[in-house]
Amino acid sequence: MGDDTSGTFRLDGKISVVTGASRGIGQVLAVALAKAGAYVAAVARNDDGLQETTTEIRSHGGRAIAVRCDLRSSDSVDAMVVRVLEEFGQIDVLVNNAGGGDMKPLLKMSEKEWLAIIELNVNGIFRTCKAVGPHMISRRQGRIINMSSMYGLIGEKYVTAYCASKGAIIQFTKALALEWAEFGITVNALAPGYIYTKRTSSVFDDPEYGPGLISRIPIGRFGQPEELGPLVIYLASDASALMTGSVIVIDGGQTAA
């Protein structure tokens, strides 16, 4: 019944850069890519977390390096790209996972706090894409995967800056996909809903807030970081060659209403 296409989901020999790879979703994605055969450059500011990520990858027989990088600095991002190219010689996949945000009413948010969220979530992706882009364009191939959120598609009170930044990522993804399509580079985004991590567990496990959050999810549970891994592998692989400028939502049905 047709050819076996399972091999198209393999990433053997592909070089993947994953930002925010020292913990949570980024750490899980880095390990997932390595298990699919990719060599991984784990990027973040936390040295201990990066070592934990690379140690786990190596324990599964994978190859990985830890690269400390501050995405708020163009010089730091440029140096990170140079380091990866020195080690591996190429970059095939860029996963822009790093990001964050705080809950705060807009009128109580300082301009500094607003700009800090935009700086990390939006400007960080701008810097990594600008730094990696010339290399991918020269090779006429590449996969870029940007981490947005369901809150890039819907609004929520008290997270205005986060919603604005994640919506910007979606538009950035669509525009860059069109700009770089002629060079064989695909640019796509993931928009997760509530994902249970160490960072989010304090809220999700809170007896006052947790049940209310679960009640919003039609499927009735929080997502797990591991559930994002197969999507990233797909977007990084040859199987997704026709997909660019797309946003994949994985939110248990929250944005379907």
- Which residues are registered as beta bridge partners of 42? 18, 66
Question: Pick the catalytic residue: 39, 151, 158, 162?
Answer: 162
- Which residues are registered as beta bridge partners of 107? none
Residue 38 to residues 8, 13, 17, 86, 193, Cα–Cα distance (Å): 13, 6, 10, 17, 26
Phi, psi of 109 (to 5 degrees): -95, 130
Please give the sequence-ordered ranges of beta strands (E in DSSP) within the chain, or none if there are none: 15-19, 39-44, 64-68, 93-96, 142-147, 185-192, 247-250
DSSP string, 59-116: HTT--EEEEE--TT-HHHHHHHHHHHHHHHS---EEEE---------GGG--HHHHHH
3-state helix, strand, coil in the chain (%, to 5): 50, 15, 35
Is 162 one of the catalytic residues?
yes
The tokens of 212 are what? 């209310």
Counting Cα atoms < 13 Å in the Cβ hemisphere of 168 gives 17
Tell me which residues are annotated as active site: 162
